[in-house]
Each structure stands twice: as structure tokens, then as C-alpha cells.
């Protein structure tokens, strides 16, 4: 399989982002902070059937590309969704539902949502 993509190795180019502002204030700290990541990780990893995603080393491709490592994140067995992106969406919807319930005076957890209680 790697050989069918070998032609792409020498055609890959790098483009520098000339608009980057090094040292600028990060505007999205409230939603993309380390604390938010840790909360999301703790929640999502507590879900039934959650498993870490295996990484597969593509050592031949890395060697041919002149880099030390290329790893492939295999999402083909992620729940029945076959995608990690769906986890973030489910997490966001759960948080939105929990927020709306709290506004109505109902304290709930994601496990309550999953159980339908």
C-alpha cells in the first residue's frame, strides 16, 4: 500500500505562514485551554467502550521521506463511528444539554444523559 503513495513523497512542499504573530495573546483560552482538554479527556475516556486509539508506525514511508517517524492513528475501530471527530461532537452536545438542564434547575451528569434518566 505504501508503494502506491511513494510518488507523493517528492512532490510534498512546505509553505510558511507569513501572517503568524508569534507571542500574540491567545484569544480562545476559555475553550481551547489545557484545563478544558483535561476535562474533555476525563469525560470522554469514562464512556463505555472507550479505548485508546492505536498508532501504527509507517517506518518504510518515514525512511523514504527522510523523517524519523510517521505514525498512523487507526480510527477504524472507534465505537461504530470509525472516527475520533464524532467524540468531540458528542461531548459538545452533552455539555450543551447539561447546561440547558442546569438552567432549569436540574443537576445531571453525562451518565444520566446516556442512561436516559
pLDDT tens digits, residue range 11-29? Answer: 667 778 888 777 667 777 7
Residue 24 Rama label (left phi>0; alpha psi -120 to 50; beta): beta
Q: What would the pLDDT profile of 71-109 be if each residue is shown by its tens digit?
A: 988 887 776 766 667 788 889 999 999 999 999 999 999
Let me know how long the chain is: 117
* pLDDT for 3: 64
Handedness of CA 116, 85, 40, 92 (dihedral sign): negative
SS3 category, 100: helix
Q: Which ranges of 10-58 does DSSP label H, i.e. alpha helix?
A: 34-45
pTM: 0.58
Amino acid at each position: 500500500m505504501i508503494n502506491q503513495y511513494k510518488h507523493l513523497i517528492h512532490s510534498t512542499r512546505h509553505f510558511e505562514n507569513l501572517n503568524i504573530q508569534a507571542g500574540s495573546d491567545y484569544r480562545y483560552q476559555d475553550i481551547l485551554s489545557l484545563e478544558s482538554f483535561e476535562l474533555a479527556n476525563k469525560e470522554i475516556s469514562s464512556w463505555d467502550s472507550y479505548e485508546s486509539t492505536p498508532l501504527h508506525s509507517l517506518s518504510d514511508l518515514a525512511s523514504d521521506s527522510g523523517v524519523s517517524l510517521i505514525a498512523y492513528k487507526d480510527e477504524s475501530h472507534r465505537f461504530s463511528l470509525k472516527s475520533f471527530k464524532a467524540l468531540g461532537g458528542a461531548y459538545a452536545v452533552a455539555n450543551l444539554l447539561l447546561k440547558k438542564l442546569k438552567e432549569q434547575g436540574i443537576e445531571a451528569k453525562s451518565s444520566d444523559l446516556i442512561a436516559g434518566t
